[in-house]
Amino acid sequence: MQSNNYKLAVDTGGTFTDICLLNQDTGQLVNRKLPSTPQDPCRAIMQGIKSICSETGNDISNIIFFLHGTTAATNALIEGKGGPAGLVTTRGFKDILYIGRQDRPHLYNFKITRSEPLVQRHMIFEAAERTGPGGEIITPLNMENAREIAHKLKEKHIKSAAICFLHSYANPEHERMMAEIICKEVPGISITLSSDILPEFREYERLSTTVINAMVQPVIRSYLVQLQQELQGERFKGNLFIMQSNGGVISASQAASQSARTVLSGPAAGVLAGKYISGLTGRENIITADMGGTSMDMSLISRGKTQYTNEGHITGHPLRLPMLDIHTLGAGGGSTAWIDPGGILKVGPHSAGADPGPACYGKGGTLPTVTDANVVLGRLSINKSLSNITPDPEAAQNIIKKRIANPLDLTVEEAAEGVIKVVNAGMIRSMHVISTHKGHDPREFTLMAFGGAGPLHAVELARELGAPHVLIPPFPGVTSAYGMLSANVKRDYIQGFIYKLETGIIKKINEIYRQLEEKALNDLAEDGFIRKDIMLYKHIDLHYTGQSYEITMEMPAGTLIPGDLKILKQSFHQAHNQQYGYMKEKAEIEVVAIRLDAIGKLPSPACKNSRKGSISPSPTSERAIIYEGKKVNTPVYERNSILKSSSITGPAVIEQEDSTALLWPGNKAHSDSWGNLIIDLEV
């Protein structure tokens, strides 16, 4: 009997689209990796879904959960295709986007050029109104002025507008009145209120976040409408959820209205996979390294917990929303190698992407890439295809020779090794940013490498980092899609609240949490969740009085009592000391914001132990690979031949359909109980 209990995950990247289909009754998992179609992402998605359903004898109508990670919001901002959006702000604050902050992107570069403001000045309108920091109305909203602004928006044919008034986090009344007037005068316009998207202080960051949402909202809404129409055309009747930056999923309707939450959609899923595998294996400390075709996304899991931040940036503009702390570098298989005017070899951040791709793909690529370098060094098979693409070694040799080797007076092999060393060095620096720079010792962590290119570089990265172990998941090329299968619906709520942390505010804090919990339960009930499937987690943002940055701390469950404050203060001092190297136990602590995370539990994938076996794997072939200038004949193994009780010693290449792993001489590898490949290093 055909099951109708399938869960589908699709991760659309700049180079590849990854798909995982899980039968929740049997635990059967089927995956697919195919080139993305950047001009129309839905085309690759639908092609992949039909292919994977055909392979399993399935039908799209049997899928009850569809979880989707997309780069649509990120690409809209990077490529300047979002908007144009209008901005309505308080009179006298028109230039906040232009003034920004006093910090410099590069401290000692006097010629630095900041990113252009997201909204042109003639598209910014000032409303006659003023609210105080305590929520008091100082100047009532001028209704005639508000209607004039609405008429101007209509005259300029603005389809999306951001409304961000001074101190609206304390009282959103004027923003809501302005939105009502605009919607009445300009039917069909999309409106983003700062009091909805980010009700906390710091005008520049709140304004930037609101504008980003307004710019990407039409793009995401249009994309989701197209995707839903095509799915409905194939009789899909399940639930469509969109991956967001905080590691949870939201309904398609919420993603269409709060689109800025999807900016780190794809990379967040990879971190989820790391947390899931951390829980399975008992490896509490993991550094995730997702190296795809365009970028490397890194994050840290410490003591089984993912790291979060509210200090995100996109194209140089603040995006202050709760998100997983992910460090992204333009270093992927498609990253191009080039020589700067000073004769220095550089790699990235530009990528050849899916079209035309690396030169060795034979699709018209004319720039050398990391993938071309790996082909030259023998690391990638020239007889095995990835997503129906078989690398052309001659094309790789020619492009590396022409663009890198000849200008630098190197052999082709030396030039290829140089490309790999340069791209690895950049990734190592970024890994130190998320580890040693934040008080974590990499020697206590396992490097979890995935993505199409991650396992190929994993050993070199771990060796330089000092990590003693490498973990490569069962399906590294589609791990981000796999991570989505463990995602839950997650909504986060925040209320700005600036007071000294003392017993006199306990009643007020409890009342705010009560209001946030009531809203969270109602919102998740609308998403179809019952109370027993909802979990609530309370957090609070604290800093020493006068500081310009905060630390988010966990709050105890239940009603806050005076004894909890003493524990909270002690925990804050310790956390501050770990992150910044000092603490001030006698200094006053200030509350900045109240937070609530609401989780709606979705069915989790059932984990299966891998096959056990005592037979030592035998290589399927052998090929010459260059290690630090030396050519070594290296055995090639199929990934599924390495069973739980068997192991191999490097040098070795381990191949599978969606990725290739490289063991250097002296490395030992074995499979654990869940099919993860564990590589032990001599560090």
* pLDDT single digits (tens) 630-641: 999 999 999 988
The yes-or-no verdict on residue 613 having pLDDT over 70 is no
Local confidence band at 549 (pLDDT 50, 70, 90 cut-offs): confident
Examine residue 59 and state whether it is found in any structural domain, yes or no: no
Neighbouring-strand partners of residue 634? 623
Stretch among 13-17, 455-459, 634-638 having the lowest mean pLDDT: 13-17
Q: Do 337 and 370 contact (CB within 8 A), yes or no? A: yes
Per-residue DSSP letter, 580? H
Say which amino acid occupies 605: P
Domain of 204, CATH number, reads 3.40.50
Indicate the residue among 581, 600, 619 that finishes a domain.
Answer: 600
pLDDT above 70 covers a percentage of the chain that reads 97
**pLDDT value at residue 16:** 83
**pLDDT value at residue 385:** 62
- Whole-angstrom Cα distance, residue 551 to residue 325? 13
**pLDDT value at residue 104:** 73
Local confidence band at 387 (pLDDT 50, 70, 90 cut-offs): low
**pLDDT value at residue 629:** 92
**pLDDT value at residue 130:** 97
- Whole-angstrom Cα distance, residue 353 to residue 479? 19
Indicate the residue among 569, 600, 631 that finishes a domain.
Answer: 600
Domain of 531, CATH number, reads 3.30.1490
**pLDDT value at residue 388:** 64
Phi, psi for 12 (deg, rounded to 5): -100, 115
Examine residue 207 and state whether it is found in any structural domain, yes or no: yes
Q: Which two tokens stand for residue 176?
A: 């809501």
The yes-or-no verdict on residue 2 having pLDDT over 60 is no
The yes-or-no verdict on residue 106 having pLDDT over 80 is no
The yes-or-no verdict on residue 536 having pLDDT over 60 is yes
Local confidence band at 610 (pLDDT 50, 70, 90 cut-offs): low
> How many CB atoms lie under 10 A from the CB of residue 514?
11
Local confidence band at 608 (pLDDT 50, 70, 90 cut-offs): low
Neighbouring-strand partners of residue 125? 88
Q: Exposed/middle/buried for 33, CB within 10 Å: 0-12, 13-18, 19+?
A: buried
**pLDDT value at residue 44:** 93
* Of 640, 644, 683, residue with least CA distance to 661: 640
Higher pLDDT, 257 or 103: 257
Local confidence band at 683 (pLDDT 50, 70, 90 cut-offs): very low
Examine residue 126 and state whether it is found in any structural domain, yes or no: yes
Place of tokens 């074995």: 670
Examine residue 195 and state whether it is found in any structural domain, yes or no: yes
Examine residue 111 and state whether it is found in any structural domain, yes or no: yes
Q: Domain limits at 101?
A: 78-220
- Whole-angstrom Cα distance, residue 654 to residue 455? 9
* pLDDT single digits (tens) 203-238: 999 999 999 999 999 999 999 999 999 999 999 999
Examine residue 682 and state whether it is found in any structural domain, yes or no: no
Local confidence band at 1 (pLDDT 50, 70, 90 cut-offs): very low
User: Which residues fall within 8 angstroms of residue 681, CB to CB, at 6 or more apart?
Assistant: 459, 462, 463, 467, 468, 469, 470, 667
**pLDDT value at residue 113:** 77
How many domains would you assign to the chain?
A: 2
Q: Positive or negative CA dihedral for 176, 180, 185, 186?
A: positive
Examine residue 647 and state whether it is found in any structural domain, yes or no: no
* pLDDT single digits (tens) 293-315: 888 999 999 999 999 888 888 87
* Of 200, 163, 194, residue with least CA distance to 180: 163
Greatest mean pLDDT among 35-44, 59-68, 162-171, 549-558:
162-171
Q: What share of the chain is helix, strand, coil (3-state, %, to 5)?
A: 35, 30, 35
Helix residue ranges per DSSP H, 235-384:
252-257, 265-281, 370-376
Q: Do 622 and 633 contact (CB within 8 A), yes or no? A: yes
Examine residue 425 and state whether it is found in any structural domain, yes or no: no
Mean pLDDT confidence for 456-462:
97
Stretch among 162-166, 353-357, 392-396, 592-596 having the lowest mean pLDDT: 353-357
Indicate the residue among 565, 600, 635 that finishes a domain.
Answer: 600
- Whole-angstrom Cα distance, residue 507 to residue 494? 17
Mean pLDDT of the chain: 91
Q: Do 351 and 294 contact (CB within 8 A), yes or no? A: yes
